Amino acid sequence: MSGWNYHVTHFVTSAPDIRHLPADNGIEVAFAGRSNAGKSSALNTLTNQKNLARTSKTPGRTQLINLFQVAEGARLVDLPGYGYAEVPEEMKLKWQRALGEYLQKRECLQGLVVLMDIRHPMKDLDQQMIEWAVQSQIPVLVLLTKADKLASGARKSQLNMVREASLAFMGDVQVEIFSSLKKIGVDKLRQKLDSWFSPLNGQTAE
């Protein structure tokens, strides 16, 4: 059987920062993005669970790094959003450094999903995240979220624009449209995660 069952994903633990994550083994895929981009919603949609990852109308809600397990050794990580205006500058810088460190040092990190509101894609920190991932040879899936907010013509032109922009990173960067509300792009996300987690299949088959 190919493909993982994401519906059985369950919460494992929360970490206050990068230094308190569980042991660096297995395969981890992280969900990153600006505050309010729709990270937690995407995780809930993927796993078909209403409240696996907390969502909120108040940006900056996810403060902790939340880890979820899909199967033995296969983890999804909900990272706190960056760029939230109300957070003091000092805290922002501290968090940005921690994110950089996580992307550059975490050995088990095998894929990065960067979520961007389709109406406001590729902000400075989004680009920074992609750069860090590419530098560490981590493949990236960019999801343009809340696609339901745009008509199909505008959706396509945003997708083309971001695809074009993503070429500049000279790395493994795929861009897709996504909507938790309308369940758009969920298959693309699932396929990507399956491919990132596939080395684990090899291990269990042997």
Judged by the rule CB under 6 A, the positions of this chain that interact with ligand GTP are: 33, 35-41, 55-57, 59-62, 81, 145-146, 148-149, 179-181
55 or 110: CB nearest Mg ion: 55
User: Which listed option, ligand GTP, Mg ion, none, makes contact with residue 75 (CB within 5 to 8 Å by class)?
Assistant: none
Tokens of 104: 């550059």
User: Which listed option, Mg ion, ligand GTP, none, makes contact with residue 123 (CB within 5 to 8 Å by class)?
Assistant: none
47 or 62: CB nearest Mg ion: 62
Number of H helices, E strands in the chain: 5, 7
Distance CA 31, CA 76 (A): 7
Least distance in angstroms from the C-beta of 83 to ligand GTP: 9
Least distance in angstroms from the C-beta of 62 to ligand GTP: 3
DSSP-derived 3-state class of residue 88? coil
Least distance in angstroms from the C-beta of 150 to Mg ion: 22
62 or 180: CB nearest Mg ion: 62
Q: In terms of Cα–Cα distance, which of 96, 158, 154 is closest to 126?
A: 96
Name residue 177's beta-bridge partners. 144
Distance CA 115, CA 130 (A): 11
Q: Is 62 in the site for Mg ion (CB under 5 A)?
A: yes
Rg of the chain on CA atoms, in Å: 16
Least distance in angstroms from the C-beta of 6 to ligand GTP: 16
Q: In terms of Cα–Cα distance, which of 185, 20, 181, 182 is closest to 113?
A: 185
Position among 40, 47, 110, 145 found at the interface with Mg ion (CB under 5 A)? 40
Q: Which residue is nearest to ligand GTP (CB)?
A: 81
Least distance in angstroms from the C-beta of 80 to ligand GTP: 6
Distance CA 70, CA 54 (A): 17
Q: Please, where are the H alpha helices in 48-151?
A: 89-105, 124-135
47 or 145: CB nearest ligand GTP: 145
